[in-house]
Structure 1
Amino acid sequence: MMQPAALKDIMGDRVPGGLDLVRLIRDGLPIDAIDHVMDGGWLSAVELDRIVLPRRTLSNRRKTGRLTAEQSDRLVRVVRLLALTAETFGDREKAARWLRRPTSALGGEPPLHLLDTDEGARAVENLLGRIAHGIAA
């Protein structure tokens, strides 16, 4: 399981771990979690729009200052996989290239494109586990 430090690297210092994170997700993450991910260069605006939440919705969420529980859960799922990919490849740039390149082990899809669903994220996570353990991907 990924350590909370990996989430903090991507989302900022205020990310708790364990059940505290569950509570925070249920309450809705502050909108600055999105800003931190984008400002850190982890996701582009287009990728965020496609995977986490549409730009119009983001604009509306900025007015309230918080994401919904569902949006928060989706963001944490994506961030968890971004961190796991960086950890697996040991280099953020290699991880970024791998995430955006079509992969035959994922039906020709770029791994990043699959992170919009839980099943897609699981497929990416399983593939990363195989890569980390030296099993042919």
Structure 2
Amino acid sequence: MSLQSSSSRPSTPLAGIIRQARVGVFQAEAAKLAVQLSLTEKEMATLLAMNLRTFQRRQASDKLDSVASERLALLKNLTNHGLDVFEDQQKFNRWLRQPLRVLTSEDDPGSEATPLATLDTATGYRLVDAILTRLEHGVF
């Protein structure tokens, strides 16, 4: 898995993600990334493991808790990796919302999840990053 992309876009080393989680990241960074990824407030709150109302009440200068800060750092890294693979923000944003067969649940073979829908868990971040790595190397 490549949470540390060997790309031209900056990626936060895993130790840096731990540090960011412990120190906290400002709400303004979450809002900025939400705009970049064309996410609604509800989607961003879900990705950060936050209640929507809590997310909406926070000021730009408020720091996120350790869980939300870690998720935001993971999302930033994933975004950088996606931009390396797709070389276009809009293409990456569309891909995040595209149902993928590889994300089909064994419990429900008729449904295909989107990469975005899997990012509500840490395992989802790892899985989507692994898919991006496969795309990057032409494995799909």
TM range (shorter): 0.7 to 0.9
Q: Distance in 2 between matches of 1:63 and 1:127?
A: 32
- 8 Å CA contact 1:99–1:111 kept in 2: the answer is yes
| Equivalent residue for 1:116, pick from 120, 123, 126 | 120
Identity of aligned residues (%): 27
| Equivalent residue for 1:27, pick from 16, 23, 27 | 23
Which has the larger displacement, 74-83 or 102-111?
74-83
With over 3 angstroms needed to count, the CA separation of the structure-2 counterparts of 1:93 and 1:17, relative to structure 1, is same
Match of 2:92 in 1: 95
Which secondary structure does the structure 2 equivalent of 1:62 belong to? coil
Listed one character per residue, the Cα deviations across residues 22-80 of structure 1 (whole Å, up to 9, x for unaligned) are: 32320211121112213434422231122222221224543981100111001111222
Structure 2 segments unaligned to the other structure (5+ residues): 105-111
Q: Distance in 2 between matches of 1:25 and 1:99?
A: 24
Larger proportion of helix? 1
Q: Distance in 2 between matches of 1:39 and 1:84?
A: 17
Which has the larger displacement, 66-75 or 80-89?
80-89
- One-letter identity of the residue aligned with 1:133: H
- With the length of structure 2 as denominator, give the TM-score of the two structures: 0.76
1:132 matches 2:136: yes
- 8 Å CA contact 1:42–1:82 kept in 2: the answer is no
Match of 1:13 in 2: none
Match of 1:10 in 2: none
Cα RMSD of the aligned pairs, angstroms, is: 2.5
Aligned length: 128
